[in-house]
Amino acid sequence: MNQIERFYKIDQMLNDRGVVSFPLMMSELEVSRATLTRDLAYLRDRLNAPIIHDREAGGYRFDRTTKQIGRQYELPGLWFSAEEIHALLTMQHLLANLDTGGLLGPHIKPLLSRLTALLGVADNPAEEIVKRIRILTVGARKVHLDNFQAVGSALLRRKRLIIHYSARGTGESTERELSPQRLIHYRDNWYLDAWCHLRNELRSFSIDAIQRVELLEEKAKDVPEKALNDVLGSGYGIFSGKDVKWATLKFSPLRARWVASEKWHSKQVGKLLEDGSYELKVPYSNDPELLMDILKYGADCEVVEPEELRERVEREVGKMARVLKQK
């Protein structure tokens, strides 16, 4: 820990605890008596810190009763420790790789430049972090930057917008007036939760399926967060709804160890069974997304209930078997 780090640590200790003994400061800073004495003298004499020794309290504290004359106490500008710089640079690298559309990049660059300038206290340069960390995204879809920015602008300004939307499931193209509520980054893709004035209900829209956006000056309809979560967050996956059912899935002992540590839904209920298998219960309304996750486990996942979901999985498995047989 260098001197600047110690200054910030001393300041934090005195602010958080009120009174701190000399031995405790020495222990937490891991310095000698002489070094701590010099640090306290520098803070008082050079940085004008109102640090006093309180004999009755048994330690050092800030004197908040005496009005300061002259230059006020202030630690040097914005400063990060080496560990904090590495953490922030790592986060920047994560965002840069997740933000494949370049939406956040321009806003991150000034911070990155500042952090790079501060790397004199760090052991490894920013390039080392970029070199050693890799983020692989699978299934991310290309987002039209102009559409994304228009949606984001309407969302933050609380304005309505008109979108031309192409639904992949049906191939239908529609024009919709929306009151945007929130943007969601889910499974490497962006979605907009919005009140659809055409259907008069809450819907989720895939940003990459928006063909054109027109901003309106009319104020957006605000939907309470609880209502958003009840409708769009109660079931399984991004395209959930009001009519929630519960699925009970049983995973083989071979896959139990993996599934037991996975989060499928915030309200999921799971338990290990005596034979080593794992039972997982999740709420769902629309089944396509849950169906895909079940099928990826193949014979290692059994749908216990409801019967309609079990039959749906059996039909999909039958279709795949017929396709493979034809080949």
Span 79-132, pLDDT tens digits: 566 666 667 666 666 666 656 555 666 666 666 666 665 554 445 555 666 666
Q: How are strands ordered across the β-sheet holding 278-284?
A: 269-272, 278-284, 245-251, 301-305
Could you give the residue range(s) of every CATH 3.30.70 domain in the chain?
245-326
User: Please, which residues have CB within 8 angstroms of residue 103's CB and are 6 or more apart in sequence?
Assistant: 143, 145, 148, 149, 152
The pLDDT of residue 121 is 46
Could you give the residue range(s) of every CATH 2.30.30.520 domain in the chain?
145-232
The pLDDT of residue 120 is 47
Gyration radius (Cα) of the chain, Å = 29
**Structure tokens, 186:** 């889910």
User: Smallest Cα–Cα separation from 284: which of 229, 230, 246?
Assistant: 246
The pLDDT of residue 4 is 80
Name the fold adopted by 145-232: SH3 type barrels. (2.30.30)
- What torsion, rounded to 10 degrees, do the Cα atoms 73, 79, 82, 87 define? 130
Q: How far apart are CA 233 and CA 244, in angstroms?
A: 10
The pLDDT of residue 112 is 62
Q: How far apart are CA 39 and CA 144, in angstroms?
A: 54
User: Global pTM?
Assistant: 0.60
**Structure tokens, 242:** 């009001």
**Cβ 236 vs Cβ 282: under 8 Å:** yes
**Cβ 286 vs Cβ 244: under 8 Å:** no
User: Smallest Cα–Cα separation from 278: which of 297, 295, 292, 296?
Assistant: 297
- Per-position pLDDT tens, the chain of length 327: 778 878 888 988 998 899 999 999 999 999 999 999 999 999 988 888 899 999 999 999 999 887 665 566 777 665 566 666 667 666 666 666 656 555 666 666 666 666 665 554 445 555 666 666 666 666 667 767 678 888 988 998 999 999 999 987 777 899 999 999 998 888 778 889 999 999 999 998 988 899 999 999 999 999 998 888 877 776 656 656 677 889 999 999 999 989 999 988 888 999 999 999 999 999 998 888 899 999 999 999 999 999 999 999 999 999 988 888 886
The pLDDT of residue 155 is 93
Q: How far apart are CA 297 and CA 274, in angstroms?
A: 21
Q: How far apart are CA 260 and CA 269, in angstroms?
A: 10
**Structure tokens, 143:** 């987002």
Helices (H), 133-281: 145-157, 225-232, 253-259
The pLDDT of residue 72 is 67
Long-range contacts, 273-279 (Cβ 8 Å, 24+) = 277/250, 277/251, 277/252, 277/253, 278/250, 278/251, 279/248, 279/249, 279/250, 279/251, 279/304
DSSP 311: H
User: Smallest Cα–Cα separation from 289: which of 245, 243, 238?
Assistant: 238
User: Smallest Cα–Cα separation from 190: which of 256, 255, 103?
Assistant: 103
Helix (H) or strand (E) holding 72: none
The pLDDT of residue 140 is 67
Dihedral sign computed on CA atoms, order 25, 30, 34, 36: negative
The pLDDT of residue 64 is 82
Number of Cβ atoms within 10 Å of the Cβ of 271: 9
Amino acid code (one letter) for 6: R
Instruction: Give the CATH architecture of domain 245-326.
Output: 2-Layer Sandwich (3.30)
**Cβ 226 vs Cβ 160: under 8 Å:** no
- Specify the CATH class of 3-62 in words: mainly alpha
Could you give the residue range(s) of every CATH 1.10.10.10 domain in the chain?
3-62
